[in-house]
Amino acid sequence: MRILLTAPPGIGHVLPLVPLAWAAELAGHEALFASTGPALAMAIHSGLRCAEVCGTDIADTYRRTADHVQFPRPLTRSEAQLVLAGWSKYAEPHRAPVRSAAERLLSGTVGLTAAVGERMIDGLVGLIHRWSPDVVVATGQMPAGILAAEVTRVPLVLHRSGVAGPVPAAALASMSGARARYGLPDGEVIPTAVVDSCPDSLRPTGSDAGVPLRWTSYTGGGVLPSWALSAPARPRVCVMAGSSLPARTEDLLFGQLVARLGRRDVEVVVSTGGADLSRWSPLPSNVRVATWFPLPAVLPTCVALIHHGSTSSTFAALASGVPQLVLPRSLEQPMNAASVVERGVGDACALLPETVDEVGSALDRVLDDDVLRSAAREVAEEIAALPAPSHVLNRLSEFVP
């Protein structure tokens, strides 16, 4: 069986697909990953066969646009339901101006997703014609893959990673240029199957389960620091800073959070992702800094994870049974933060100058609350009981004519 996997240019979008692609290769199938930019580079680093379907400049556009889709706090319950139920109205070209922050988040996310889709669909359609896959596996943030499968009449499997959400109907509808070029009618594209890695206890109301898939944490390979190869002498707290610190104010606030950790009897490990942390100096003596390390290899030795709420980081903590403090900024991060709070596996709040005390209190709860820790272990057991990628791969063959 030939399996074409495709995702947007962001690294976080390709990571959940890698275990399924590996399972396909190990079972004797042919897997090909299609994207561009950082996602393509990570897929190559992961040992996958790849094809580029768009110029790398789209990755720069993706990053710049994503930085404008800001919503630096967790969603409320009603806002989370808006995300799940309200996609379609953002496809209306002449709707009234958006007013609430949640509506701006939705509108910006839809616009970004549709713009990337318009740029990538022609390359995907051409690749499908050349390579002739038996099935297309596309992430929920990849409307180009969804429409390309519809154009070429290849069975579509929607890979829904993380907190379950709807098919982005608005993004599909907003790709009017692509629909016109390929003669596609308006309306939803119904996938042949949906693969779903969200455990039931985190599934938002109104989101249907698909074919269950165990979340397999993967963030790339690399050399582990020596400190990561042995148990810590003190409780270890992991902080994912990374390139998600574009604003000077947020950079300094994150540094204040690390300084607060420096006053506790813990070991702090910070993954910078290449971000400049010079304004954090001097760092407390109990803080270790690394440009990058494989998160799944470090998390089992940690008592907490502090991060911005990407799906990869959120679910890595969930799968490891580690409580987390989520400080969301944009895109899917507020939705993940809301789910963490709702399930009781961690805390979340805005990282803003006026919320410094609130962030500190949330940090204390995550480090000291045994109820959060117990709930995190429950979710880890729930995830571990879901079917492995190899099992789901066998199910894919049911959907191929």
Q: What is the pLDDT of residues 258-282, one digit of tens each?
A: 888 888 999 999 988 777 777 777 8
Q: How would residue 379 be classed by pLDDT, with cut points 50, 70 and 90?
A: very high
Rounded Cα distance between 99 and 271, Å, is 36
Strand partners, 2: 30
Considering the domain architecture, whether residues 372 and 392 belong to the same structural domain is answered as no
Pair 61, 130 in one domain = yes
What is the DSSP pairing of strand 211-212 with strand 324-326?
Answer: unpaired
**What's the pLDDT score for residue 49?**
97
321: pLDDT strictly greater than 70: yes
Spell out the residues 6+ positions from residue 303 whose beta carbon is closer than 8 angstroms to its own. 235, 236, 237, 266, 322, 323, 367, 373
Asked if 105 and 332 touch (Cβ cutoff 8 Å), the reply is no
For residue 215, give every residue at least 6 positions away whose Cβ sits within 8 Å of its Cβ, in sequence order, or none. Answer: 16, 161, 197, 315, 318, 319, 383, 386
Q: Residue 51: inside a domain, yes or no?
A: yes
Residue 72 CA to residue 58 CA, distance in Å, equals 25
Q: Is residue 44 located within the same domain as residue 138?
A: yes
**Integer Cα distance of 251 and 123 in angstroms:** 38
- Total structural domains in the chain? 2
Domain that holds residue 308: 226-384
Looking at the fold, whether 195 and 281 belong to one and the same domain comes out as no
Confidence grade of residue 94 (pLDDT, cut at 50, 70, 90): very low
Q: What value, to the nearest 5°, has the Cα angle with vertex 63 and ends 353 and 182?
A: 140
241 and 186 assigned to the same domain: no
Residue pair 291/298 in contact by the 8 Å Cβ criterion:
no
- Is 220 contained in some domain? no
Does position 129 have pLDDT exceeding 70, yes or no?
yes
Distance of CA 277 to the CA centre of its chain: 24
In this structure, what token pair is assigned to residue 375?
């709930």
